[in-house]
Amino acid sequence: MNNSSSSGKTERILIAGFGGQGALTAGQIIALLHMGRGLNVTWMPSYGAEMRGGTANCSVIVSDGIIGSPTVSTNADVLIALNTPSLDKFEPIVAPGGTIIANTSIIKRGTTRTDVKFIGVDATNIAVALGNLKIANMVAMGTYLNLHPEFNDSDFEKVLNDRFGEKGKALIPLNMEAMKKGRV
């Protein structure tokens, strides 16, 4: 987390992709993980009218101080881009020293920026190999968790259980496997 506010350490995360890729769910999980550590968190979704197949993104801000605005429109510390249009749109707002996590199954370019860390993860192809295209977001989540070694697998599993409840309990082992594939 950067010390980007006078009130404490703050991390500004933007997750973006096509509707249906799970960008909003990934943002909720990031928010819940950090809330579990007692930090202040905001989660603000934004999506096009098309929903599935349209654009979707969310801002997550995590801080040990007061959060003034719930959106990330500049100076993102982390961008998780699940498709090329998302990388194209949001790459410029990543703060110098920030991190871009890109789904290289779909995004066929790197970055020209020399002031950010670029991490490619073959999220969609890994998800397909695991048998479910919809878990590419969980592969990317594993890559995000590499930036936060304070979170372990059981923290992630607890958040999945809290988020998906009894209705989604059968999908938790597959989501856990996807996260672990992205974490390596």
What would the pLDDT profile of 118-128 be if each residue is shown by its tens digit?
A: 999 999 999 99
Distances (CA, A) of 4 to 7, 75, 92, 103, 114: 9, 9, 18, 27, 21
Residues 91, 115: contact at Cβ < 8 Å?
A: no
Percent of the chain residues past pLDDT 90, beyond the cut: 83
Structural domain boundaries, residue 132? 10-183
- Does residue 2 lie in a domain region? no
Reported confidence tier of residue 6, pLDDT bands at 50, 70, 90: very low
Residues 181, 142: contact at Cβ < 8 Å?
A: yes
- Does residue 3 lie in a domain region? no
What would the pLDDT profile of 34-50 be if each residue is shown by its tens digit?
A: 999 999 999 999 976 65
- Does residue 161 lie in a domain region? yes
Residues 90, 108: contact at Cβ < 8 Å?
A: no
pTM above 0.95, yes or no: no
Q: Count how many domains the chain has.
A: 1
Distances (CA, A) of 134 to 25, 109, 123: 11, 22, 10
The CATH number that applies at residue 160 is 3.40.920.10
